[in-house]
């Protein structure tokens, strides 16, 4: 896993995706708002100290090979766009997740980032399918799953919203 982790560098014509590092923390924290997280299973951290505990746990999970949190940056100017996650890597169906900073919504960055991570995990890690939980009312995120041939396989009620869980097939060989 360390060899895979150290080589992860995913690019498209618009995006640069690398595992989260401590140098990303300030920009990430600045973008986490209550409106951004309304469709997330988590709430904004109460303080920067609380957020530091969160991102330190991400680094541990990345090192352990159980989860990846990736920073998404625009390739032209390295501006921070959001985070994409690949979670529960030791399960049969790892989970995909995404958030894009609010001032960059509806520009296709989420769809592109999730597609790139799914393609990478399918090709380099042999993942055969993914789950993608999403709030029923989060229509842009649901479109991401559908664009990757996702189908609803379950429904769930969380403390914040009703959700559906998509199964997204392997993206091996799929062009972005």
Output the pLDDT for position 174. 60
Output the pLDDT for position 7. 67
pLDDT reading at 1 higher than 90: no
Distance CA 128, CA 73 (A): 27
Output the pLDDT for position 115. 96
Q: Which residues of 105-126 are buried (b: 16+ CB within 10 A; e: fewer)?
A: eeebbbbbbbbbbbbbbbeeee
Looking at the chain, the whole-number percentage of residues with pLDDT higher than 90 is 84
Longest dimension (CA), the chain: 42
DSSP string over 39-78: GSSS---SSHHHHHHHHHHHHHHHHHTS-EEEEEEETTT-
Q: How confident is the model at residue 2 (pLDDT cuts 50, 70, 90)?
A: very low
Output the pLDDT for position 41. 87
- Residue spans of the domains in the chain: they are 2-127
Output the pLDDT for position 8. 83
Give the residues across from 99 on adjacent strands: 83
Is CATH 3.40.630.30 correct for 2-127? yes
pLDDT reading at 6 higher than 80: no
Please state the rounded mean pLDDT for residues 63-86.
96
Please state the rounded mean pLDDT for residues 70-85.
97
């Amino acid at each position: 896993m360390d060899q895979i982790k150290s080589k992860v560098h995913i690019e498209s014509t618009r995006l640069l995706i690398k595992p989260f590092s401590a140098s990303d923390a300030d920009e990430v924290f600045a973008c986490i708002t209550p409106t951004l997280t309304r469709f997330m299973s988590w709430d904004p951290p109460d303080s920067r100290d609380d957020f530091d505990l969160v991102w330190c746990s991400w680094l541990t999970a990345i090192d352990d090979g159980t989860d990846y949190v990736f920073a998404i940056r625009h390739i032209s100017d390295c501006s921070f766009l959001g985070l994409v996650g690949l979670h529960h890597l030791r399960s049969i169906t790892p989970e995909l997740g995404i958030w894009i900073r609010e001032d960059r919504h509806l520009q296709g960055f989420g769809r592109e980032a999730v597609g790139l991570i799914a393609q990478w995990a399918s090709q380099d890690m042999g993942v055969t399918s993914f789950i993608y939980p999403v709030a029923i009312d989060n229509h842009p995120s649901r479109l991401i799953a559908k664009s990757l041939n996702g189908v609803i396989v379950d429904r769930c009620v969380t403390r914040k919203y009703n959700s559906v869980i998509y199964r997204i097939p392997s993206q091996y060989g799929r062009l972005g």
